[in-house]
Amino acid sequence: MAEYPLLPEEPLIKKQTVSLNKRLSEFPWWFLALILIAIWAAFIISRNEFLFNIGLELTNDLNAGQATEFLYQEFESHAISLAETIEIETQKADKKWTIISGNEEYFIRLDEQSLSIYTTGSYNDAFEFIKAGLIVTIKTSLMAYVFALIFGLLAGLGRISKNVVFNNLARLYIELIRGVPMLVLIFFIALVGVPIVVNGLIDLGIPIDVRDISMSMRAITALSVTYGAFLAEIFRAGIQSIGRGQMEAARSLGMSYGQAMRYIILPQAIRNVLPALGNDFVAMVKDSSLVSVLAVRDITQMARLHAGSTFRFREAYITLAVMYLTMTVALSLIVQIIERRLRTHD
């Protein structure tokens, strides 16, 4: 019986190599890097900072909750001044003792031959201080985006309108906003535009004081007006992506132009531009940091205050950057999920 030669294995090996290279090239390394950055950030924020060691002779006094002169001297020798009245707690969260001195906390662990003194890390302090502005950042971004959607939709409808006045006003608004830097617009709208509008309302007999308009509301107004111009172009593109035949069919069924736009065109257009709207919201969350120039206490302003009072610029701004990164990555992932679901329904 004749023996047939075996086929060479080289093509199979080459195919496996190409497949492995393709998998490596398609692996989301950037996402892995973000996860590692998040783990590193969580570690440096949550860890305690070691200060110094003291002898075991304070153990009995600490158990009794007594603050002896020797304890004060030990801290003073390491350039730490305890308050005149301190509280000593025992057995707190895997730490043997906790000393509360004013706004500071010191943790004491019992080792084999000494007592180790720790305190909350500098990054933890920065995070605890900065996170107070998180609600302001989220509130500002959400409220500004809702109003920006309204401005953008109206301006987008104006851009495709056959009415000369409406069309030119919308075009003027868009070109003016897009032609001026965002930071300048925030200053102008908050400090010039809002007072002009308030003075106009006063002239009409409406009792209002410019001081009644908080800087937070001015910041929201500035972001809304600014982003409305960019959203207008997104809405215009979405509406124009719908075939003219659908408008003609709706009109032939007896619908008015407004009814056809409301029930037929806009639902499809918004569905088409939903990913772009989501990306613009992510951009607004980042650009909301600019409202700190108006002394609005968002996380950027809180980071500036913490850095200015403690001179720990590295801790303050690394923590701030990680907080923004976490928010934007989470929002970007949500936008990607929405995009995938829209594709599956197409």
**pLDDT surpassing 70 at residue 15:** no
Question: Looking at beta carbons, which pairs linking 320-323 to residues 24 or more positions away fall under 8 Å?
Answer: 320/130, 322/37, 322/38, 322/41, 323/127, 323/130, 323/131, 323/134, 323/299
Output the average pLDDT for the chain. 85
Where does a domain end: 75, 91, 120?
Answer: 120
* Residues 301 and 238 both lie in one domain: yes
Domain count for the chain, please give it. Answer: 2
Range with lowest mean pLDDT among 25-29, 198-202, 219-223, 309-313: 25-29
User: What b/e readout covers 233-250, taking b as 16+ CB neighbours within 10 angstroms?
Assistant: bbbbebbeebeeeebeeb
Is there a domain that residue 67 lies in? yes
Q: Residue 248 has what DSSP assignment?
A: H
Does 46 have pLDDT greater than 80? no
Domain assignment present for 250: yes
Q: How far is CA 251 from the centre of its chain?
A: 44
**C-beta of residue 194 within 8 angstroms of C-beta of residue 186:** no
Residue-level pLDDT at 211: 80
This prediction's pTM: 0.77
Instruction: Using DSSP, state whether 302 is helix, strand or coil.
Output: helix
Taking the C-alpha atoms of residue 241 and residue 273, their distance in angstroms, rounded to an integer, is 10
Find how far residue 188's CA is from the centre of its chain: 24
| In the predicted structure, residue 7 carries a pLDDT above the cut 60 | no
Of 101, 120, 139, the domain-final residue:
120
What span, in angstroms and rounded, lies between the C-alpha atoms of 221 and 155?
16
Task: Tell whether 185 and 315 lie within a shared domain.
Answer: yes
Same domain membership, residue 337 and residue 311? yes
**Residue 325's domain spans which residues?**
129-345
Span 77-103, pLDDT tens digits: 888 888 878 888 887 666 788 888 877
